[in-house]
């Protein structure tokens, strides 16, 4: 039996004109969801969640509301399962699960529902396999896509290392300039901004766009979502945006002569270990290192080698 809202809960009869209506520049949910979402957003702000997380969670629950076409007190676990499996990757599904659990956990605590349909949802297993960077052929294919916006999405992922959610919210005004050149203010996870230098080609492409969101939603309200960025890059390259980000990390690491701290800054990682997981050492890299060792040895004569070792070269097993 579907539970009705708890006694006294504000859920029906509240008209749109009286609602706070958070994120007015985006597509709004059905009327029955607005008071719940407004209160939920206020609660998340009280708990000091980042605006980026709040906006993402609000978008996911708004999307759920439009797709199910049910009021929030009629949502059951089957609705949630059907919605959570829609995103194309496990990481996106986990993020969707987090939004769903947050909302319905709050609704129960707030007394708007007598149950929590997300409470017993089975966990989504985290992928542990090593990610392979997108091949250069795939990147090249995406950079020659017929759609200008898709080409720009590919450039931001492969040549600047942005996450798909970061790509979605880029604005033309985020490009800055100093004595060293042009850079992009990237609005990253946890409400943390970072500065990523841009190539002239990428900077010109961004500045050639109209002011405002680089990738506006078709409704004219706000930007596209990260899932849209994922689908467009996947369709253009055959690879996920994340593998393009891995490609950027690996290329930056090799090009910088192994400056892992610089790569960490560019990717916006808290942990150096996370950055290390992004860098892929290929057989070609390993062969290059071995060849460099060989050339190093050839550049020293035997006397130099013996002198450098303090006497006879030690025997090795």
At 221-247, the pLDDT tens digits run 889 988 899 999 999 999 999 999 999
Catalytic, 269? Answer yes
Report how far residue 226's alpha carbon sits from residue 92's, in angstroms, rounded to the nearest whole number. Answer: 9
- Half-sphere exposure of 316 toward its Cβ, with a 13 Å CA cutoff? 1
Among 1.20.140.10, 1.10.150.530, 1.10.443.10, 3.20.20.70, what is the CATH number of 136-278? 1.10.443.10
- 170 closest CA partner among 179, 178, 160: 160
Catalytic, 245? Answer yes
Residue 17 reports pLDDT greater than 50: no
CB neighbour list of residue 190: distance below 8 Å, 6 or more residues apart: 50, 52, 53
Candidate list 163, 164, 187, 247, residue with the active-site label: 163
Q: How far is CA 191 from the centre of its chain?
A: 13
pLDDT of residue 304: 52
Candidate list 189, 194, 217, 231, residue with the active-site label: 189
May I ask the CATH architecture of the domain 16-109? Orthogonal Bundle (1.10)
Candidate list 245, 246, 247, 253, residue with the active-site label: 245
- Residue 9 pLDDT class (50, 70, 90 cuts): very low
Kindly state the average pLDDT of the residues 236-260. 89
pLDDT of residue 34: 93
Kindly state the average pLDDT of the residues 51-65. 90
Candidate list 60, 113, 242, 247, residue with the active-site label: 242
Worst-scoring range by mean pLDDT, 108-117, 128-137, 146-155? Answer: 128-137
Work out the number of other CB atoms within 10 angstroms of the CB of residue 133. Answer: 23
- Residue 12 pLDDT class (50, 70, 90 cuts): very low
At 118-150, the pLDDT tens digits run 999 998 876 655 668 899 999 999 999 999 999
Tokens of 226: 């990260």
Kindly state the average pLDDT of the residues 289-300. 60
Report how far residue 153's alpha carbon sits from residue 218's, in angstroms, rounded to the nearest whole number. Answer: 16
Same fold, 16-109 and 136-278: no
Tokens of 121: 């949802």
Write down the domain spans for the chain: 16-109, 136-278, 287-317
- Residue 283 pLDDT class (50, 70, 90 cuts): low
Catalytic, 278? Answer yes
Beta bridge partners of 273: none
Candidate list 113, 246, 247, 269, residue with the active-site label: 269
Strands 193-197 and 181-187, sheet pairing: antiparallel
Catalytic, 261? Answer no
Catalytic, 163? Answer yes
């Amino acid at each position: 039996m579907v539970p009705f809202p708890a006694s006294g809960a504000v859920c029906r009869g509240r008209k749109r004109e009286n609602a706070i209506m958070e994120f007015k520049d985006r597509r709004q949910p059905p009327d029955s969801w607005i008071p719940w979402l407004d209160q939920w957003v206020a609660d998340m702000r009280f708990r000091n969640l980042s605006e980026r997380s709040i906006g993402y969670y609000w978008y996911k629950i708004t999307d759920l509301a439009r797709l199910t076409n049910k009021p929030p007190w009629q949502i059951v676990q089957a609705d949630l399962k059907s919605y959570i499996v829609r995103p194309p990757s496990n990481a996106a599904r986990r993020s969707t699960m987090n939004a769903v659990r947050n909302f319905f956990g709050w609704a129960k605590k707030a007394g708007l529902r007598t149950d929590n349909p997300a409470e017993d949802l089975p966990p989504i297993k985290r992928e542990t396999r090593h990610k392979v960077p997108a091949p250069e052929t795939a990147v090249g294919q995406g950079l020659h896509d017929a759609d200008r916006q898709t080409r720009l999405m590919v450039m931001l992922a492969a040549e600047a290392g942005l996450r798909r959610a970061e790509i979605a919210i880029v604005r033309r005004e985020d490009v800055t300039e100093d004595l060293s050149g042009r850079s992009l203010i990237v609005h990253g996870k946890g409400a943390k901004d970072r500065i990523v230098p841009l190539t002239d080609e990428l900077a010109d492409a961004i500045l050639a766009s109209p002011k405002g969101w680089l990738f506006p939603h078709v409704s004219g309200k706000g930007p596209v979502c990260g899932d849209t960025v994922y689908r467009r890059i996947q369709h253009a390259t055959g690879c996920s945006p994340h593998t393009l980000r891995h490609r950027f990390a690996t290329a930056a690491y090799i090009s910088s002569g192994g400056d892992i701290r610089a790569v960490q800054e560019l990717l916006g990682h808290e942990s150096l270990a996370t950055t290390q997981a992004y860098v892929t050492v290929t057989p070609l890299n390993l062969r290059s290192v071995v060849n460099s060792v060989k050339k190093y040895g050839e550049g020293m004569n035997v006397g130099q080698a013996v002198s450098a070792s303090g006497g006879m070269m030690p025997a090795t097993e």
